[in-house]
């Protein structure tokens, strides 16, 4: 049975699974395992969904997140137990989305992301004048004619019902943040490069999150009612789809490893202060970028947000050309971007190299209306209360050992183990008091606890 995010949603899915048996009896769909889908005849919608699942989650190494269009609740299933029955019922039930990554637990977080085998570039051509009336296959042909598929070419492409998803399959990529955080960062850089390539066709710059979900083929787009389907499906050789090595892909796209040379620190305090000013401005710019790209409603803070981003970006890099490029990309990444001419007129025109602005965190928080919940994902633009809470959490974590126990909890666990061993050897409580040096009351109390286990 699937592991679910919440009990109430679990009840809903249990009812859903009960209905599957009745549906499968009437449709004649057999129970098909995840790895044996080629051996059975499925309806085309279920077949496309299963083929896509097998392509992007082939390693059977974690839990996949599913959700419907409201995105309010997720439910999980491990890759070992996926079947045609489950998938068929889910895609026919509603507009189904699926995670690109697998997770080690049942929370859709970067910290729990386990592995990834795909990059999906969303192309929202319906937002581009002159392209929005064309069929999806026409857009694919135009991209080919423009040479956008020379290298790397997508492994396949999906019509999402009002746009296109370009699927680039990867060799299995471990992404656990604690050990392989570099893979997550490199993947983001590759996605940014690919988004720039398809920018004229409406690529969505908000697609680099390792926890992102996408519509699965076989379901439908709840906004348009159109079917989500793999284009040129009948021509694909599913046993020989192109897969890319992420590092080789990055090198081909011109993303180079940056190695820093160690320099002698002749005036340690000064260099340290300069470094701190750089990091402060850099991380503030990243925090502001996060706010602007994750909010659904950015009206009222777009201009001031971009202006603050530009100031801290310029203070960090002192590179006007880089700022112009990055701020235009950031603007396009917002839910409702400004016109390009407004960015130049309202923002870039007023940001000058060498002009130092100093803002308090409280000022930025007030101007952007940053909520406490949003601060949990930020590095530097946080309130005093948020900073205190983080410090308390760190102190609590530091007090715990490798067994996640405080020193007092560990001492109690050790004493319980000692007393349990002595009782097994036939010691009486008064003998245990003498042997361990513990008080009579402590031995009596722990003995009672052991008897209730």
Residue 84 has pLDDT above 70, yes or no: yes
What gap in Å lies between CA 146 and CA 298, rounded to an integer?
34
Check whether residue 213 and residue 310 sit in a common domain: no
Looking at the fold, whether 162 and 196 belong to one and the same domain comes out as: yes
What tens digit of pLDDT does each residue of 168-178 get?
999 888 876 55
Confidence of residue 24 (pLDDT cuts 50, 70, 90): very low
- Which of these ranges, 61-70, 93-102, 391-400, has the smallest mean pLDDT? 391-400
Structure confidence by residue, pLDDT tens digits, 47-67: 899 899 889 987 666 788 888
Query: Is residue 262 in a domain?
Result: no
Residue 58 placed within a domain = yes
Q: Which pLDDT band holds residue 232 (cuts at 50, 70, 90)? A: very high
More confident position, 393 or 167: 167
| Same-domain check for residues 282 and 177 | no
Specify burial of residue 183 (Cβ count, 10 A radius: 0-12, 13-18, 19+): buried
Q: Indicate whether 84 belongs to any domain.
A: yes
- 16 pLDDT tier (thresholds 50, 70, 90): very low
| Domain co-membership, 294 together with 332 | yes
34, part of any domain:
yes
In a domain, 188, yes or no: yes
For residue 141, what pLDDT band results from cuts at 50, 70 and 90? very high
Q: Is 234 exposed, middle or buried (CB count within 10 Å of its CB: 0-12, 13-18, 19+)? A: exposed
Express as a percent the part of the chain with pLDDT over 70.
Answer: 76
What value does the mean pLDDT of the chain take?
79
335 and 280, same structural domain? yes
Which one has a higher pLDDT value, 268 or 60?
60
Q: Which domain holds residue 438?
A: 407-452
In terms of domains, do 190 and 64 share one?
yes
Q: Are 202 and 128 in contact (CB under 8 A)?
A: yes
- Give the bridge partners for 157, in sequence order: 166
Whether residue 397 is contained in a domain is answered as no
Contacts of 38 (CB under 8 A, 6+ apart): none
Do 91 and 217 fall into the same domain? yes
Q: What is the pLDDT of residue 5?
A: 42
Q: Same structural domain for residues 299 and 220? A: no
43 and 79 share one domain: yes
CB within 8 A of 131, min separation 6: which ones? 125, 139, 142, 201, 202
How many helices (H) and strands (E) the chain has is answered by 16, 9
Say if residue 170 is in the same domain as residue 59: yes
Tell me the pLDDT tens digit for each residue of 314-365: 888 788 888 888 898 888 888 888 888 888 888 888 776 656 667 788 989 9
Q: Which residues contact 286 (CB under 8 A, 6 or more apart)?
A: 379
Helix (H) or strand (E) holding 351, with range, is none
- Check residue 160 and give its pLDDT: 92
CA 139, CA 130: separation in Å to the nearest integer? 11
Q: Kindly state whether residue 256 falls inside one of the protein's structural domains.
A: no
Neighbouring-strand partners of residue 221 = none
Structural domain ending residue among the three candidates 251, 283, 309? 251
Note whether 214 and 122 are within 8 A (CB).
yes
Per-residue model confidence (pLDDT) at position 178:
55
Indicate whether 100 and 204 sit together in one domain.
yes
How does DSSP classify residue 257? P
Mean predicted confidence (pLDDT) in 64-79:
67
Q: Provide the CATH number for the domain around residue 108.
A: 3.30.70.1790
Q: Could you report the per-residue pLDDT of 298-318, keeping only the tens digit for each? A: 888 888 899 899 988 888 878
Residues 192 and 282 in one domain: no
pLDDT digits (tens, 9 = 90+) for 183-219: 888 898 899 999 999 988 988 887 788 888 889 999 9
Number of domains within the chain: 3
Q: Look at residue 295 and tell me if it is in a domain.
A: yes
């Amino acid at each position: 049975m699937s592991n679910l995010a919440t009990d109430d949603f679990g009840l809903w899915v249990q009812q859903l699974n009960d209905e599957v048996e009745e549906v499968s009896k009437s449709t004649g769909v057999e129970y098909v395992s995840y790895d044996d889908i080629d051996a059975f005849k499925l309806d085309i919608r279920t077949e496309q969904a299963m083929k896509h699942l097998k392509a992007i989650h082939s390693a059977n190494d974690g839990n996949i997140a599913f959700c419907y269009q409201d995105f309010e609740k997720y439910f999980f299933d491990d890759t070992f137990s996926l079947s045609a029955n489950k998938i068929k019922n889910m895609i026919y039930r509603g507009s189904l989305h699926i995670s690109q990554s697998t997770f080690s637990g049942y929370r859709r977080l970067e910290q729990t992301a386990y592995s990834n085998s795909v990059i999906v570039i969303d192309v929202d051509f319906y937002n581009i004048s002159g392209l929005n009336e064309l069929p999806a296959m026409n857009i694919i042909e135009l991209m080919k004619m423009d040479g956008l598929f020379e290298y790397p070419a997508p492994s396949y492409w999906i019509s999402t019902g009002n746009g296109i998803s370009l699927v680039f399959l990867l060799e299995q990529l471990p992404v656990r943040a604690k050990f392989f955080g570099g893979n997550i960062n490199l993947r983001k850089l590759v996605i940014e490069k690919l988004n720039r390539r398809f920018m004229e066709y409406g690529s969505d710059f908000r697609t680099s999150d390792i926890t992102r979900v996408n519509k699965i083929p076989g379901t439908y787009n709840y906004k348009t009612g159109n079917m989500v389907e793999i284009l040129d499906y009948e021509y694909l050789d599913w046993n020989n789809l192109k897969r890319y090595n992420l590092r080789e892909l990055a090198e081909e796209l011109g993303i180079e490893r940056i190695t820093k040379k160690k320099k002698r620190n002749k005036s340690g305090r000064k260099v340290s202060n300069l470094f701190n000013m750089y990091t402060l401005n850099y991380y503030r710019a990243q925090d502001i970028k996060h706010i602007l790209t994750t909010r659904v409603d950015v009206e009222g803070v777009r201009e001031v947000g971009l202006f603050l981003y530009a100031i801290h970006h310029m203070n960090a890099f002192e590179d006007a050309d880089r700022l112009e490029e990055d701020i235009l990309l950031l603007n396009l990444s917002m839910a409702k971007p400004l016109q390009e001419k407004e960015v130049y007129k309202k923002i870039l025109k007023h940001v000058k190299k060498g002009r130092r602005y100093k803002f308090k965190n409280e000022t930025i928080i007030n101007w952007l209306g940053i909520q406490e919940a949003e601060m949990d994902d930020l590095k530097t633009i946080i309130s005093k209360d948020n900073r205190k809470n983080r410090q308390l959490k760190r102190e609590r974590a530091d007090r715990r050992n490798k067994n996640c126990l405080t020193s007092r909890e560990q001492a109690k666990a050790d004493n319980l183990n000692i007393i349990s061993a002595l009782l097994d050897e036939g010691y009486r409580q008064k003998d245990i008091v003498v042997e361990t040096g513990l008080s009579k009351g402590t031995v009596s109390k722990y003995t009672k606890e052991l008897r209730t286990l």
